Amino acid sequence: MLDRPNLITELKSMSGAEKEQLAGEIRQRLIEVVPKNGGHLASNLGVVELTLALYSVLDPFQDRIIWDVGHQSYVHKLLTGRNDRFDTLRTENGISGFPVREESGADCFDTGHSSTSISAAIGFARARDLQGEKHRVVAVIGDGAFGNGMTFEALNDAGQITNDLVIILNDNGMSIASNVGGMSRYLGNIRTGKSYVRIKKSIKRTLLRIPKIGGKMVRRIQKFKASLRVLLIPGELFEELGCKYIGPVDGHDVDRMTKALEKAIYLGGPVILHAITKKGSGYQPAEENPSYYHGIAPSGSKKQAPSYSANTGRVLTELGQTDSKITAISAAMSDGTGLNAFKNAFPDRFFDVGIAESHAVTMAAGMAAGGLKPFVCVYSTFMQRAYDQFLHDCALQKLPVTVLLDRAGASGLDGKTHQGIYDLAFLQSMPGVTICAPCCISEQTAMIQLAKQTDTPFVIRYPAKDTSGLTDDFVKQYPVEFGRGATILNPSRGDVLFVSLGQITHNVIEAVELLEEHQIACGIFHARFMRPFDEKGLCSLIDQNQFKLIVTVEDGVVSGGFGCVAASLVQTKYPGSTVPVISIGYPNEPVTHGTIAQIHQRYGMDGLGIAKRVLAALKGEPSCD
């Protein structure tokens, strides 16, 4: 059925049995492809019937459906003509694991981070009405996203509008109450039936016609009804914000969901449709362990390299045993950032604030001002959401908050919304913040220990896995000191000097080995710290050699990043120097999905690519710059 060219059109007239058959086919397709390619399995299995009901009423090519986060949009993609390409999911040049406007006319808005859908939907609804258009606007958002302040900001605004807008709350038990009994269903059906709405409006009009006492009667009835809702109806929060509420509805019952959606559209204005679903539905392993099957790695992956995340948890747990002031903070990512070990060891000093990165950072600032030593563990891509809080609440107050930026650099298959390549550029302008990046796990350990000893903001950025192959002997040979880099290769004569930061240094080492085959002598200065930058160490190496070329290398955007800082330093210290400085990193453009190795190769940042760019630069070819 998924191969039918007019599937969306046919879906509206399908029988219940046909939709059930289609749901089975979708689940089989998900189970075939997602474990092979990696991706989000449990969340997509949980929205099969919900999506079928949604597209039984709406047309994704005409209406505007915004999928919050977007990791649960695989079913949407299968139903909107991408079944023939679904085997390419999350592969280089294949379809994305998230909605992408350039990919299909059915993808009306790019999503990748949580809690953006309601704000975007309000924007779509206002744009529609201002331009006299008639399409429907729907936001599909999970209950976990309700921990983010942006959701409440949007709901607060939604309560003020008269624009037609439906918000489907996909409640899979993450945080919103799971009140799905017969009474809740009964109340939901009565309160949202068309006849009920008509009768309610009629009674109100009749009472208001009664002289003197009519208005008082309406207000008393409304007050009594509000009190009753608080006791019996789970949607009171939304009603108080000014949004009509429907539900809870069984999100795996296509017929009930379809009817509920039709009622939501009939009601008009902003409407919350509360659907109860189960992550992993229809696939027993995912039902039993939805967290594990939320995001899975591709099958047949190579042996896993050592994990920076796991090392984070280990080191913080060890430090916490001797320092009771150490706390650890997660924004709904305790497993992904390796904090489970600390959580188990010190449950009273571990805080998971949900999908609320801004709150996490300012709370950490409060802890630091109160005498504690907080460590905020967050993915680089999500730290973007706490830019203001880190600048305003941590940096300007010089508070000892340590941010451990996991998944920094190219993040791989999740694509452009998840690449951790912007952190160096947006952090380097913040006053008084220490910024460093290890090239291996042993360096990361030493940097976390240094962070514990400092009394100002401290940032350590690192990727998910340590693929450097370096052992503890590396740190023994080149001890980590605050604000000091490491000269890991000092040639007797110098042709090229590499100035690198972080694990990308390993790619530089590979490039040097290739360049040596061309009799090109290279030096390597691993800066370790972007701030404070080791000016003395770098200048000492430059002074000892007559380098023909200086090359900066970073796993981040060049614009405003480490390369700009290093190049500016060289130009300041050596005014009038004719030695060219080129910077290797990501251009100022979206970086689409692929493996980390493929992304490095695509941008000339693997060992071979770096070597080729250096050879071209030495020949004076401008294309390498």
Let me know: does 607 contact 550? Beta carbons within 8 Å. no
Beta strands 458-461 and 434-436, pairing class: parallel
- Of 321, 378, 381, 372, nearest to 346 by C-alpha is 321
Neighbours of 62 (CB within 10 A): 13
Active site residue 209: no
Q: Is 225 part of the annotated catalytic residue set? A: no
Cβ proximity of 243 and 272 under 8 Å:
yes
In 85-142, beta strands by DSSP E:
137-142
Helix (H, G, I), strand (E, B) or coil at 13: coil
How far is Cα 85 from Cα 276, in angstroms, rounded to an integer? 30
For 258-320, give the DSSP string: HHHHHHHHHH-SEEEEEEE--TTTT-HHHHH-TTTTTSBPPTTPPPPPPBHHHHHHHHHHHHH
CA neighbours closer than 13 Å in the CB half-sphere of residue 247: 36
- Concerning whether 357 is annotated as a catalytic residue, the answer is yes
609's enclosing H/E stretch is helix 607-618
Of 279, 349, 416, 528, catalytic: 279
Task: Please identify which of the residues 19, 77, 136, 385 carries the catalytic annotation.
Answer: 385
Choose the catalytic residue: 244, 259, 263, 357: 357
Q: Is 365 exposed, middle or buried (0-12, 13-18, 19+ CB in 10 A)?
A: buried
Strands 522-526 and 64-67: unpaired
Residue 565's contacts (CB-CB under 8 Å, 6 or more residues apart) are 428, 530, 531, 533
CA angle in degrees (0–180, nearest 5) for 105-108-111 = 125
Q: Which of 26, 74, 71, 53 is nearest to 282 (CA)?
A: 26
* Residues β-bridged to residue 142: 170
* Helices first, then strands: H and E counts in the chain: 26, 17
R_g of the chain computed on alpha carbons: 28
Active-site annotation, residues: 279, 357, 385
